[in-house]
Copies of this chain bind each other. A is one copy, B any other.
Amino acid sequence: MTEKIIEYIEQFVKLTDEEKKQVGSCFKEVKIKKRQFIVQPNFTTKHRNYVYKGAFRAYVVGDEGQDHTINFAIDDWWITDYNSYIFQQPATMFVVALEDSIILQIDYEAEQELKRQNHKFETFFRIIAERGLAFQQRRIISNLIHTAEERYENYVLKYPQIVQRVPQYALASFLGMTTEFLSRIRNKRVAKKS
């Protein structure tokens, strides 16, 4: 089961058999039922989570009770409250399973130890942080430049697998609009096509 994550890591840094064994032993497999939470506000996030199989949604609840989706994660993506995990502070987000899922979790302490012991692991985590940063940058740009409709169109083109697996209200709040408005955009599109 940890073979998949080793394969993932090896996209960025090549590992010896010894190192594979070491990193493999740091991740533990956890089954998560639909609607189960893996991160909750006020609890410090103790794990970085790799989605082996399944779908998750990270969101925050605003002052008026509406929720706002921060991220989705499906197979081969990572998901955590980074502000909580990195700084080991209480979380502000919820992370909930949208399907029955399997994740691979690494413990904060174990991750620190890996990075301390071996330059390669430091490099690996540096690369995924950099890529995460670049990814978020693109999202901020997209939100500033595009209208709600354009944001939806672009997202469907780029992440069709996610669009299919995620409830509409969650997608709407991710794209920064109401579920009613997204419904209208979608139906307008269907009407146009026929």
Interface size classification for chain A: 20 to 34
> Within 8 Å of chain B (Cβ to Cβ): is A187?
no
Q: How far is the CB of A182 from chain B (nearest CB, A)?
A: 14
> Within 8 Å of chain B (Cβ to Cβ): is A134?
yes
Find A86's partner among B82, B86, B131, B173 (CB 8 Å cutoff). Answer: B131
Give 24 A-B contacts (CB < 8 Å), ordered by A residue: A60-B141, A63-B145, A70-B141, A70-B144, A82-B133, A82-B134, A83-B134, A83-B137, A86-B130, A86-B131, A87-B134, A92-B141, A122-B122, A122-B126, A125-B126, A125-B130, A126-B126, A129-B133, A132-B133, A133-B133, A133-B136, A140-B143, A143-B143, A144-B176
Q: A83-B138, A133-B136, A136-B140 are in contact. List 20 more A-B contacts (CB 8 A).
A: A60-B144, A68-B144, A70-B137, A70-B144, A82-B130, A83-B137, A86-B131, A86-B133, A86-B134, A92-B141, A115-B123, A122-B126, A129-B130, A129-B132, A132-B133, A133-B133, A136-B137, A139-B140, A140-B140, A143-B143
